[in-house]
Amino acid sequence: MKVANFILALGVLALASSLPLPTILALSRTFVWQPMMLTLVDPEHVTADDFFYSGLMLLVKLQNSGSTYQSLTVDSIHGLNTNGLSIVRIDYEANGGLNPPHHHPRASEILTVLEGTLYAGFISSNPDHRVFSKVLKAGDVFVFPLGLIHFQLNIGKTPAVAIAALNSQNPGVVTTANTVFGASPSLVPDVLTRAFHLDKDLVTKLQKQEWVNPSELNSYSNSY
């Protein structure tokens, strides 16, 4: 009997250790607040507003790439905590609005086009680097797997709009070009000249560009 109980205990421990922390908390708690502190909230103090957001349909100023996004993570809707969900609206200007190549280190993504025509795709990991892409129109849906670089380009003559859902309350985002050329402090140019097969003058010029608008820093921080 002792051996059986020991084996059972090991099984339960193995199952628990295989689950992400938010999942474990979700199994045992109703509400969890402040994701970095995992502070519990008295259910009596929780209201419908903790699960609500208004304003996703408001257009935000476009970035230099010709697109912009509004991300709703656990920072915006506290009720997302432990639920493993977030959502983002992306707007693209006509004739080339781009959501540049990027990846989400903590989430896969499913994107639905609401308006316009997008060329969207992702690139597989080493060593193949295969491109999986489609032209998407209103009502079309495309999936971007966890951690893979992906993009969307508006190839239409009118603005485009898409809504994406991600399976993390805080998916994170790493925009490829911004990360390597806009790193702070700057990377040693030799790293980039060798990696991208570029001459040093061009690398230095690229590093001097403004890759992130200061007004957008809060949007990038720990969000989409």
- What residue numbers does the annotated binding site for oxalate cover? 99, 104, 109
Binding residues: 99, 102, 104, 109, 150
Residues annotated in the binding site for Mn(2+), as ranges? 102, 104, 109, 150
Residue 188 per-residue DSSP state: P
How far apart CA 130 and CA 210 sit, in angstroms, is 30
Q: Give 109's contacts (C-beta < 8 A, 6+ positions apart).
A: 143, 144, 150, 164, 165, 166, 171
Whether residue 18 contacts residue 78, with contact meaning beta carbons closer than 8 Å, is answered with no
- CA distance readout (Å), 72 to 75, 106, 171, 185, 222: 7, 15, 10, 29, 11
Could you write out the DSSP letters of every residue in 116-136?
A: SEEEEEEE--TTT--EEEEEE
Residue found by looking up tokens 């805080």 in the block? 170
Q: Are 144 and 133 in contact (CB under 8 A)?
A: no
